């Protein structure tokens, strides 16, 4: 005979099992743990160091937070506090916002729903003001800055100005119909990563013509299942292209399979210069495409 207390215990166990079955699991946990392990904690906070030992890389820290936001087992509290609790990390020596970093900061703040709404409003206002000269190609001096502005302003609900930023970006495609880092003389051709982030900006803002052009460039410059740069495989570019083409509705299974082959024993994605070990920066841009996600889809 089952007692009331026994019935209650049984119901509780069933409920617990049901809830645990519904809980999100971290996909590719070893890669997520590799990237999380690259954060360093110093007296001034928790962040990813850049190419200069001991110096924080704000851009990659923000991007790593965005990517690991989809890994439920990873605790990002300290890194988010360092990066998002203030705007200190995205300001220059005079206290002015660095607009490219500010855009990434805003996108990540919305993505992880960090409790900094007054600061979000401040940064949003600054970005709206910066992009107010609509349809001005001189605004899109840097592909990544313009694309992050288009993504961030879209996340902030500023659809019209987000579309203007994306449109300005569409006007600075290179002669080969792709996008490079910028239009300076040092950027002589388009690249997979720049064209890919441009495609994500166009896709998020429903600009079909430049999206078609960017997608066509990525498809035309694909080396079977990956991209190349400087005479070698381009892991970061392949990661960005995988996200962009996925956001555009394309089949990226071959690209994703190639990225998975780059994951080495330590969990990171190797690059031609990482001596067979995981590369921090490639992994900071490669975790989301590895698990089938992209920056456009995360906004929805």
Summarize pLDDT for 65-100 with one digit per residue, the tens. Answer: 999 999 999 999 999 999 999 999 999 999 999 999
pLDDT at residue 133 greater than cutoff 90: no
pLDDT band at 135 (very low <50, low <70, confident <90, very high): low
Q: Angle formed by the axes of helices 29-36 and 58-68, to 10°?
A: 150
pLDDT on residue 6: 52
Within the chain, strands assigned E span 39-42, 45-48, 228-229, 232-233
pLDDT in tens, 26-63: 999 999 999 999 999 999 999 999 989 899 999 999 99
For the four alpha carbons of 236, 241, 228 and 224, in that order, the dihedral sign comes to positive
Give me the pLDDT at residue 184, please: 75
What domains can you pick out in the chain, each with its CATH number? 27-299 (1.50.10.10)
Distances 264 to 190, 191, 239 between C-alpha atoms, Å: 29, 25, 16
User: Residue 247 has which token pair?
Assistant: 């956001």
Q: Summarize pLDDT for 6-29 with one digit per residue, the tens.
A: 544 444 444 444 444 456 899 999
**Residue 56: strand pairing partners:** 49
Average pLDDT, rounded, for the chain: 91
């Amino acid at each position: 005979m089952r007692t009331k207390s026994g019935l209650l215990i049984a119901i509780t166990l069933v409920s617990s099992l049901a809830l645990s079955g519904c809980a999100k699991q971290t996909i590719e946990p070893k890669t997520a743990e590799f990237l999380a392990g690259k954060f360093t904690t110093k007296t001034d906070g928790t962040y990813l160091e850049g190419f200069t030992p001991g110096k924080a890389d704000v851009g990659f820290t923000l991007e790593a937070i965005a990517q690991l936001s989809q890994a439920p087992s990873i605790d990002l509290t300290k890194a988010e506090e360092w990066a998002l609790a203030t705007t200190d990390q995205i300001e220059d020596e005079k206290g002015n916002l660095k607009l490219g970093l500010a855009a990434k900061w805003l996108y990540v703040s919305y993505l992880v729903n960090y409790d900094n709404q007054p600061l979000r409003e401040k940064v949003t206002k600054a970005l709206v003001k910066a992009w107010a000269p609509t349809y001005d190609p001189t605004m899109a001096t840097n592909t990544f800055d313009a694309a992050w502005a288009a993504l961030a302003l879209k996340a902030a609900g500023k659809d019209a100005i987000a579309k203007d930023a994306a449109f300005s970006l569409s006007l600075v495609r290179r002669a080969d119909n792709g996008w490079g880092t910028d239009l300076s003389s040092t950027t002589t051709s388009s690249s997979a990563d720049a064209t890919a982030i441009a495609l994500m900006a166009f896709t998020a803002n429903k600009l079909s013509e430049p999206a078609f052009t960017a997608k066509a460039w990525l498809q035309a410059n694909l080396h079977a299942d990956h991209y190349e740069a400087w005479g070698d495989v381009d892991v970061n570019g392949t990661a960005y292209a995988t996200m962009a083409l996925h956001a555009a509705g394309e089949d990226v299974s071959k690209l994703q399979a190639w990225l998975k082959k780059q994951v080495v024993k330590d969990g990171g994605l190797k690059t031609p210069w990482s001596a067979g070990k995981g590369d921090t920066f490639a992994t900071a841009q490669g975790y989301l495409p590895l698990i089938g996600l992209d920056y456009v889809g995360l906004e929805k």
